[in-house]
Amino acid sequence: MQPSDDRFRALWARDRLLCRLVAGWCWFAVFVLARGGDFTELAFGQQYSIYLAALWTLGGVCLLTLVALAGYPWHTDSWFLLGGATVCVCFWLVGGPQDDARYLFWLAVSAAYTLFVLYFLQANDGLLRLWQPGRRTVIAVAVVAAVASCAVISTVTCLRYLTFSSPNFDFGIFVNMFHNMRETGLPLVTSERDGLLSHFAVHISPTYYLLLPFYWLFPSPLTLQIGQAVALMLGIVPVLLLARRFGLSGKATVAVSLLYAFFPVLCTGCFYDIHENCFLPLFLLLTFYFYEARRPLPMYLSALFVLGVKEDAAIYLIVFALYLLLSRRSYLHGCLLLVLSGGWFVLATHLINTYGDGVLSNRIDNLIYDPEMGLLGVIKTALVNPGFLLTQMFTTSGGTWDKVAYFLQMLLPLGLLPFCTKKLSRWLLLAPMLINLFTRYQYLYDTGFQYHFGNAAFLVYAVLLNLPELSHTWRRSLLGLAAACCLCLYLCAVVPKLNGYATRWRNDRLTYARMEELLDTVPEDASVNCSTFLLPHLADRSEIYEIGYHGDRPDVDYVVIDARYSGWQDTMRAYLAQDYEIQTNAPGLLVILRSPG
């Protein structure tokens, strides 16, 4: 009778009874949410009585009690509790507010959901200890996760293009550049600065040539969108290598792999179309791995690839070099990397300032007192007035909390693990984030853009460094926090984008097909002046301009005007006054004008 008594006492323990009560209520909440409606309105669900909620909860408790009896000694109550909470979270975050308040809502939901996750991990600690995934299982999970995340990113970005949601800046310019690279081998663009120039006059990014073979075989804008996702998810390879190097267990390696693959800020950073920054996680993490593996030649080769991403990518290597000098006491490699990256940064900025369009130092002009000093002005401000520097850390031009939200979005989905070390010198790995926080250029601290890919690589590296030094309890708790916040932010920031573009495509697919047919009537060898959202669909030609910058100059063969937005009639009238003729007029879609010559 002793086993039965133990089962009965365990079943009616206070925590398990409370667990069943909350689980029963969660499933009632799921029932209400599944009926549809806007739960952010106070009137939502008022047609259901308190008695129905109590009856449903009580019925759930009875059912879960029977399951718990059959499933003894497993803690099935915690499974149903986490399951019900997870479904509720999915409904709330996917269908929740999409305005500026969405990240405050994410924080609130994440705080509650983390409690459920931590309880589940504690209640099932014994069961989880039994699971010891082997190397093949770890690799399989990582590959599946990377492929799944790549598919989501590719779907969102491809649908952006297919639904005419991608503008000239920053997608049309790259479509035009890759077309010219395929034809001439040179990164020439006409739509970037309203005239023919090399893209390298704006940003020195030879890393784009890594995608050229694929674009040469499949010359489509979709190739670029998919290529970005693939390049980003290849970063999971050095993540696995670093985890193995640091001796992480199979479970911890699976957890970190999932966190990297579904790190929301990596996904959302792709949603403004392709940028060279997508290569930063792969090349930086490879640099970190080869240093840890004591393989200097591949490390320096990877560092050269980092420098090839963009002229300012050298800053990431400068930070890594300082980390090697101050934290790892690796003076040889630290000095060599510092000289290599610092020298390239000086040379690249000199080339752009002398022969190109000039370095975009205006993004940190809030730190530069004398504009003639350029980037040196930032160093002077930091040295002579560090107090002012701190005033800028969380200050925005609009007086918002956007920088705080950015900080939390970068660190909570990693469970704050980059901070969890007794070696404070490792906090140097968080230094790249300061670039995004000290500026008032709003896109640098907006996770919907590409400016944080390098930061993410440093944070993941810090996680991998810190995890082996934590106790089992702390490691379990912080990875649980990371999993909860990562899932919640993914549901809040990524899934609504996927749903939104998929819905737009389903509803208006025939309209978009019609627009493509009309645009195909413009000859491939003709010069074109075009509206921004139509430009990427016409950019596979040697000469194309954006109306917003080119104006109504009559120096092109064709003018293509987007009639979906206001103000298009002014452009049409200006060209008609210069004897251009209407070739196509699709009301509410677009207008194509042909030169009189």
CB 535 within 8 A of CB 191: yes
Residues 42 and 118 in one domain: yes
Average of pLDDT values for 148-170?
97
Strands 558-562, 590-594: pairing kind: antiparallel
pLDDT value at position 387?
87
pLDDT value at position 208?
97
Q: What is the mean pLDDT of the chain?
A: 92
- The residue behind tokens 């190739």 is 223
Question: Helices 495-519 & 472-493, crossing angle to 10 degrees?
Answer: 40
Residues 76 and 125 in one domain: yes
The CA-atom distances, in angstroms, between 422 and each of 200, 242, 327, 425, 470 are: 43, 20, 12, 9, 10
Average of pLDDT values for 533-551?
96
pLDDT value at position 11?
67
Tally of CB atoms within 10 A around 189? 27
pLDDT value at position 416?
96
Average of pLDDT values for 205-225?
97
CB 229 within 8 A of CB 157: yes
Residues 485 and 530 in one domain: no
> Where residue 1 falls among pLDDT bands split at 50, 70, 90?
very low
- The three-point CA angle 419-425-427 to 5° equals 35
Predicted structure pTM score = 0.94
Residues 427 and 533 in one domain: no
For residue 491, how many C-alpha atoms fall within 13 Å in the half-sphere facing its CB?
A: 24
pLDDT in tens, 21-32: 888 888 888 888
Residue type, 208: Y
Question: Does the residue 426 lie in any domain?
Answer: yes
Question: Does the residue 181 lie in any domain?
Answer: no
Residues 78 and 116 in one domain: yes
Question: Does the residue 29 lie in any domain?
Answer: yes
Taking the C-alpha atoms of 219, 221, 222 and 227 in order, what is their torsion angle to the nearest 10 degrees? 80
Residues 548 and 417 in one domain: no
**Which carries the bigger pLDDT value, residue 302 or residue 19?**
302
Tally of CB atoms within 10 A around 376? 12
3-class SS string, 313-338: HHHHHHHHHHHHHHCCCCHHHHHHHH
Residues 47 and 107 in one domain: yes
Residues 6 or more apart whose Cβ sits within 8 Å of residue 195: none
Closest listed residue to residue 95, CA positions, set 494, 413, 487, 492: 492
Tally of CB atoms within 10 A around 59? 13
CB 591 within 8 A of CB 530: no
Residues 6 or more apart whose Cβ sits within 8 Å of residue 223: 211, 214, 215
Cα(547)–Cα(128) distance, integer angstroms? 60
> And the tokens for 469?
């030094």
The CA-atom distances, in angstroms, between 41 and each of 46, 101, 432, 566 are: 10, 14, 41, 33
For residue 440, how many C-alpha atoms fall within 13 Å in the half-sphere facing its CB?
A: 15
pLDDT value at position 205?
96
pLDDT in tens, 360-379: 667 777 888 777 676 677 77
Residues 39 and 101 in one domain: yes
* DSSP code, position 283: H
Domain boundary among 130, 161, 178: 130
Q: Which strands make up the sheet holding 544-546, listed edge to edge? A: 544-546, 528-530, 558-562, 590-594, 581-586
CB 284 within 8 A of CB 306: yes
The answer to which of 68-77, 136-145, 442-451, 515-524 has the lowest mean pLDDT is: 68-77
Cα(535)–Cα(528) distance, integer angstroms? 9
pLDDT in tens, 514-532: 999 999 999 999 999 999 9
pLDDT in tens, 578-587: 999 999 999 9
Residues 481 and 577 in one domain: no
Average of pLDDT values for 131-149?
95
Helix locations, 135-279, DSSP H: 135-162, 173-184, 212-217, 221-233, 236-245, 250-261, 264-268
**Which carries the bigger pLDDT value, residue 397 or residue 464?**
464
pLDDT value at position 43?
87
Question: Does the residue 247 lie in any domain?
Answer: yes
CB 508 within 8 A of CB 164: no
Q: Is the pLDDT of residue 45 over 90?
A: no
- Structural domain containing residue 368: 231-499
Residues 257 and 312 in one domain: yes
Q: How many domains does the chain have?
A: 3
Cα(431)–Cα(458) distance, integer angstroms? 9
The CA-atom distances, in angstroms, between 342 and each of 96, 263, 302 are: 46, 30, 16
pLDDT value at position 5?
56
Closest listed residue to residue 291, CA positions, set 302, 277, 278: 302
DSSP β-bridge partners for residue 590: 562, 586
Question: Does the residue 185 lie in any domain?
Answer: no
Question: Does the residue 459 lie in any domain?
Answer: yes
Domain boundary among 94, 112, 130: 130
> Where residue 9 falls among pLDDT bands split at 50, 70, 90?
low
Backbone angles phi, psi at 277, to 5 degrees: -60, -20
Which range is most confident: 306-310, 370-374, 385-389, 400-404? 306-310
The answer to which of 224-233, 297-306, 386-395, 517-526 has the lowest mean pLDDT is: 386-395
Residues 545 and 472 in one domain: no
The CA-atom distances, in angstroms, between 524 and each of 74, 179, 215, 546, 552 are: 67, 12, 18, 17, 21
> Where residue 63 falls among pLDDT bands split at 50, 70, 90?
confident
Question: Does the residue 88 lie in any domain?
Answer: yes
Domain boundary among 130, 165, 189: 130
Cα(551)–Cα(574) distance, integer angstroms? 9
pLDDT value at position 386?
84
Beta strand segments in 8-63, E: none
Using DSSP, state whether 590 is helix, strand or coil.
strand
> And the tokens for 44?
């939502």
DSSP β-bridge partners for residue 529: 545, 559
Q: Is the pLDDT of residue 38 over 80?
A: yes
Backbone angles phi, psi at 233, to 5 degrees: -75, -15
Average of pLDDT values for 560-580?
94
CB 231 within 8 A of CB 278: yes
Residues 8 and 71 in one domain: yes
Question: Does the residue 243 lie in any domain?
Answer: yes
Average of pLDDT values for 432-445?
90
Cα(384)–Cα(80) distance, integer angstroms? 58
> Where residue 2 falls among pLDDT bands split at 50, 70, 90?
very low
Percent of the chain with pLDDT over 70: 96
